[in-house]
Amino acid sequence: MLSIVHRNIGWIEVICGSMFSGKSEELIRRLRRAFIARQKVAVFKPKIDVRFSEDHIVSHSELKLASRVVENAWDILEQSLEAQVVGIDEAQFFNRDLVVICQKLANMGKRVIVAGLDQDFRGEPFEPIPQLLAVAEYITKTHAICVVCGNPANYTQRKIQNTERVIVGASDIYEARCRNCFEPPEDAKTEFKLSGKGRRKKKEKPG
């Protein structure tokens, strides 16, 4: 895909999908290859996500790569002036300024690789990822495995009752589900809700 890209042009790549779909793994894989190619790489994550480490991005499979924690998207711009490749994990925790910053970085000739959740626990688009998808040159959608039925999973099921959009957690709070098995919360405004889907009663477990 990228082998035909001429030098001195920047672009935006977005890696998106549900939790556990391998976004961080894929981001780390791409960034490691850039390191091997001796490119100057800068890696960032938002301050809100220090679940596993303060100075690394870490996948659920425990791959990790050194990164810097930033308060907001403007810090990324300030700290990546020298970089040729800019990696950003957990992008859903930044506000819409991230779109402006990614555009600026790409316009400066940098390769910008952004990973983030495209839907929240209600199954609703998780800003600013939809806006980033619109302006990105390259998009990769990753899928987890549905923990209920084993199909490809595109949804993040919250296992606890809480209506706040952002609750930072891992498999203690969330699991991956497919379209059939995803059960949106009562206040979700999704198409699922309108069609009544997801409000099916759970099958009684035998015994």
Is 124 one of the annotated active-site residues of the chain? no
**What is the C-alpha to C-alpha distance for residues 15 and 143, in angstroms, rounded to an integer?**
11
Q: Do residues 113 and 13 make contact, with C-beta atoms less than 8 angstroms apart?
A: yes
The residue (of 103 and 127) whose beta carbon lies closer to ligand ADP is: 127
Judge contact between 143 and 24, C-beta under 8 A. no
Residue 145 binds Zn ion (CB under 5 A)? no
Q: How many residues bind Zn ion (CB under 5 A)?
A: 6
Name residues whose C-beta falls within 8 Å of residue 187's C-beta, 6 or more positions apart in sequence: 122, 163
Of residues 17 and 87, the one with the C-beta less far from ligand ADP: 17
Q: Does 147 bind Zn ion (CB under 5 A)?
A: no
Contact track, ligand ADP, 48-67, x by CB under 6 A:
-----------xxx------
Element (H, E) at 88: strand 85-88
Residues 113-142, one symbol each (x = binds ligand ADP by CB under 6 A, - = not), give -----------------------------x
Cis peptide before 128 (omega within 30 of 0): yes
Asked whether the beta carbons of 124 and 190 are under 8 A apart, the reply is: yes
3-state secondary structure of 194: helix
146 binds Zn ion (CB under 5 A): yes
Q: Determine if 20 is a binding residue for ligand ADP (CB under 6 A).
A: yes
Which residues participate in catalysis according to the annotation?
90
Residues forming the site for ligand ADP (CB under 6 A): 17, 19-25, 59-61, 142, 144-145, 147, 176
